[in-house]
Amino acid sequence: MFSNSKRVFTLMLLASAANTSFAAPAPVSDLSSTTPAITSTTATATRSANSSETDIQRLERLLENRNRVQLNMQQQIDDMSLEISELRGQLEKNSYDMQQMLQRQRELFIELDKVRGEIRTAETPVVEIDDSQPTGTFSSNVDEQTAYQNAVDLVLKERDYAGAIVALKQFQVDFPDSSFSSNAHYWLGQLYFAKKQDKEAVKSFAAVVTYQDSNKRADALVKLGDIAKRNNNQATATKYYQQVVDEYPNSASAKLAEKNL
């Protein structure tokens, strides 16, 4: 009987525990408290989207700025390249002009050295004779060579141009048949040309042209062209320049004449 009572008591305890479990209220969700959480999440997502769009726009703006800067730099580089090309062309032209000037100076110095050498050997001259007429530019007359050399020195050494004109004109009077006559005419023409006495310069250079074998004939033709050009007579200038090119095609004088054609 005791065991039956114990069993009954145990069953009662179990039943009481079960009732307690079933009687416990089920958890209820608070909808009002959930709504703010949802709203907060949505706002965060919206701000994130807005932030993403702003970053994209900022990136696009940076790319546009970079492209604009690159275009400006490329334009500047192109402008500088063009300017460098123009400067290079001008430098080449100046270099060519300088070479031509140096060539003409070398020719003058060679002529001067030749004249001085002739003076030193004048006491024992070696002259080629053809039908009793002297050839070349050598003269056995010491006074004649000295007079010519002194006149040239007034030009090259002392820069006494007025005195050189007087000396060269006197030389032509004293030695009218001199082998240096064409050179004397040429120097006179140069001096008159420098003083812009064009009428006298034309006479002197024209006299040089009459000497077909003169080494100054080509230069005299160029000078006649220069004088005509300076006086706005382009047709006459072109005629002289073309004559130099035709008769002396490989000379430095021809290159100068070509530049004026």
Number of residues that make up the chain: 261
- Average pLDDT on 31-36 reads 47
Q: Does residue 154 or residue 133 have the better pLDDT?
A: 154
Any domain includes 189:
yes
Which three-class secondary structure string do you get for 98-125? HHHHHHHHHHHHHHHHHHHHHHHCCCCC
Phi and psi angles of residue 91, each rounded to the nearest 5 degrees, phi first: -65, -40
Helices 161-174 and 181-194 meet at what angle, rounded to 10? 150
Q: Which residues constitute the domain of residue 174? A: 109-260
Q: What is the pLDDT of residue 218?
A: 94
Q: What is the pLDDT of residue 235?
A: 95
What's the CATH code of the domain at 225?
Answer: 1.25.40.10
Q: What is the pLDDT of residue 50?
A: 54
Burial code (b: 16+ CB inside 10 Å, e: under 16) for 113-147 equals eebeebeeebeeeeeeeeeeebeebbbebeebbeb
Segment among 50-59, 66-75, 116-125, 236-245 with least mean pLDDT: 116-125
- Average pLDDT on 130-151 reads 60
Q: Does residue 219 or residue 134 have the better pLDDT?
A: 219
| Number of domains making up the chain | 1
Q: What is the pLDDT of residue 120?
A: 46
Phi and psi angles of residue 49, each rounded to the nearest 5 degrees, phi first: -65, -45
At residue 217 the predicted structure's pLDDT band, cuts being 50, 70 and 90, is very high
Any domain includes 215:
yes
Segment among 51-55, 81-85, 139-143, 160-164 with least mean pLDDT: 139-143
Q: What is the pLDDT of residue 112?
A: 63
Any domain includes 100:
no
pLDDT at 45 over 60: no
Any domain includes 178:
yes
Q: What is the pLDDT of residue 230?
A: 94
Any domain includes 98:
no
Q: What is the pLDDT of residue 18?
A: 45
- Average pLDDT on 192-203 reads 94
At residue 129 the predicted structure's pLDDT band, cuts being 50, 70 and 90, is very low
Q: What is the pLDDT of residues 66-78, one digit of tens each?
A: 888 888 888 888 7
Any domain includes 248:
yes
Q: What is the pLDDT of residue 159?
A: 86
CB burial of residue 227 (10 Å; 0-12, 13-18, 19+): buried
Any domain includes 137:
yes
